[in-house]
Structure 1
Amino acid sequence: MNPMAPALQNVDVGVSSILLWGVLPYVVLAIVIGGTIWRYKYDQFGWTTRSSQLYESRILRIASPLFHFGILAVLAGHIMGLFIPSSWTEAVGMTEGMYHFLALSIGTIAGVGTLLGIVLLVWRRRTTGPVFMATTKNDKFMYVMLLAALLTGLATTVISVLDHGVPDYRQTVSPWFRSIWIFQPDVAAMAAAGPSFKLHALWAMALFAIWPFTRLVHAFTAPVHYLFRPYIVYRSRDRGSSSHLAPVRRGWEPVGTQDRVRGTTKAPTGRSRAGRH
């Protein structure tokens, strides 16, 4: 039950709100699912990050962990804020003030770290010649969308702190987000959200709509199997006992086939050598 339900009844829900918050999310979901299936079926060779580590690794060694660990922390914060109702956190003894303090402090650190990481990645691509030459128009568009999503997300945090008149997103955006997954979109809840939250939600949906058609698609194939693959065992040869080992014939030596000139590839025993196939 949404605590703001009585207040939300007075929200003017027009056609634009129904289209944006009741129809558009399902259009985006259809694009994400259908686009991912299409990409996997017809472009498996393009399902890659197109790593540029070969061209430059010094900046990448700093920027990549900053961005990836930061985005994972941002994702964890969004999951907690959007999926977990406020009644659940209160039930475990976490007050609303404590929740917002943790969300603000940890979320700001994660957001700034992610933003710094992507700025370094963009700067690296722009200033490193080989990396810049390997950057496609698709990559540039993807970076613009990703940067805008991060900036609008940080803006919502700053505005919600400075402007206490902005409705709490846990009573507006979160109920709307959860209602999408049960196919009962709470359009009124999202219509009551602040403009910065609406802008961030729209930009996030646009980012997910292009997700399957950019290098971001590699996030759907995390190398989980690496955790379960067997170890590769390397054994070194004991040089002290090398005299007891049989001589190893090198593969590029003459093999002594019958069509070669006789007498040119004779073994010490007088017989022609037989090569391995």
Structure 2
Amino acid sequence: MSHPFQAFLWVVYPYFMLGSFIFGTIIRFAFFHPSITAKSSEFLEKKHLIIGSILFHVGIIGVFFGHIAGIFIPKAWTDALGITNEMYHIFALSAGGVFGLMATVGVYMLCIRRFHDHRVFHASSTGDLLVILGLTAEITLGMLSSFLISPQVPDFNYRTTIAPWARGLFMFHPDYHLMMGIPFLYKCHVFFGLLIFGAFPYTRLVHAMTVPLHYIKRRFIVYRRRPNL
């Protein structure tokens, strides 16, 4: 690929997606707050929803924070603490494998449920279908990159390529050359991950920003049996 295209792919496109995420979220909360909801289909099918949803949410939270740690903790810091590259990767693959497997099983259960159960499918919007397909593709790409491609390319280290590039985005000095030599599936994983971030404010995913902390202090609701007349 030409260098101008690479520059667009790893400099312009990421800022466009991140800008869409930030400003889209602000606009959604400021002007369309009543539309922020996770429309439930529990009354249509409950068993697979509960299992898949718990696995997906617990898994994706672990995977998300694992990505944050992998990106924002430089290799030099762990080296200074005496943590070798092998030790780091063993821990990352072990923890990431557990949470990644949970997220994978959960998202596949939710995806199959969304498309296979005719009642759930017909009650779903186009956005619902695209979101679950996007999440399924992104998680699949991540698992394939980590556990299939990474062992085949032992010289590749995302901590010296993808992580510095990602940190450079937040420092407004990204080096797109770092992304040019990484395996193709990793590029796809990053590309679709940014696409999900860009689409985040305009889908049901935005409900993840509305943590119901007020429930902690909410008074209990007391139900009383209606007396027989």
Q: TM-score, normalised by structure 1?
A: 0.75
For 1:59, the equivalent position in structure 2 comes to 48
1:162 to 133, 152, 155: 152
Q: Summarize deviations over 1:58-94 as a string: whole Å, max 9, x none.
A: 2222111100000001101101111110111222332
Structure 1 residue 225 displacement after superposition: 2.9
Counterpart position of 1:102: 91
Matches within 5 A, 1:9-48: 14-48=3-37
Measured after TM superposition, the shift of residue 130 of structure 1 is 3.0
| Counterpart selection for 1:214 from 196, 203, 212 | 203
| Structure 1 range deviating more: 36-45 or 110-119 | 36-45
Q: Which of 192, 212, 219 is residue 181 of structure 2 equivalent to?
A: 192
Whether the aligned pair in 2 keeps the contact of 1:13 and 1:188 (CA below 8 Å) is: no
**Using the alignment, how far apart are the partners of 1:210 and 1:121 within structure 2?**
20
Alpha-carbon distance between aligned partners in 1 of 2:47 and 2:187, rounded to the nearest angstrom = 38
Give the number of aligned pairs. Answer: 226
Distance 1:42 1:70 in 2: 32
Report the counterpart of residue 232 of structure 1 in structure 2. 220
Give the one of 125, 132, 141 matched to 1:152.
Answer: 141
In 2, Cα distance between equivalents of 1:177 and 1:56:
40
> SS at the partner of 2:34?
coil
Q: In the TM superposition, what whole-angstrom CA distance separates every residue of 1:137-164 from its partner, at most 9, and x where no partner exists?
A: 1111111211111111112112111222
Following TM superposition, by how much is the alpha carbon of 1:224 offset from its aligned partner in structure 2, in angstroms?
A: 2.6
Distance 1:109 1:20 in 2: 31
The CA deviation at 1:223 is 1.7
- Return the offset for 1:233: 7.4
| Partner residue in 2 for 1:138 | 127
State which drifts further: 145-154 or 32-41: 32-41
How many Å apart are 1:231 and its aligned residue?
Answer: 4.3
What residue ranges of structure 2 are gaps of 5+ in the alignment?
Answer: none
**2:58 corresponds to 1:69:** yes
- Of all paired residues, the percent bearing the same amino acid is 36
Structure 1 CA distance, aligned partners of 2:183 and 2:74?
19
Q: Distance in 2 between matches of 1:191 and 1:78?
A: 20
Aligned residue for 1:98, secondary structure, equals helix
Q: 1:109 Cα deviation (Å)?
A: 2.0
Amino acid at match of 2:189: H
Q: C-alpha distance in 2, partners of 1:13/1:126?
A: 39
- Identify the residue that residue 273 of structure 1 maps to in structure 2: none
What is the CA-CA distance between 1:199 and the residue it aligns to?
1.5
In 2, are the aligned partners of 1:126 and 1:132 still within 8 Å (CA)?
A: yes
Q: Which residue of 1 aligns with 2:79?
A: 90
Q: Is the 8 Å Cα contact of residues 71 and 163 (structure 2) preserved in structure 1? A: yes
Gaps of 5+ in 1: 1-11, 238-247, 251-277
Q: Is the 8 A contact 1:49 1:218 kept in 2?
A: yes
Q: Which has the higher helix share?
A: 2
- Alpha-carbon deviation of 1:196? 2.1
Q: Which amino acid aligns with 2:143?
A: L
Q: Does structure 1 residue 118 correspond to structure 2 residue 95? A: no
Q: Tell which structure's C-alpha radius of gyration is larger.
A: 1
Higher relative contact order (CA 8 A, sep 6+): 2
Q: Is the 8 A contact 2:111 2:136 kept in 1?
A: no
2:72 counterpart letter in structure 1: F
Give the alignment's TM-score, normalised by structure 2: 0.90
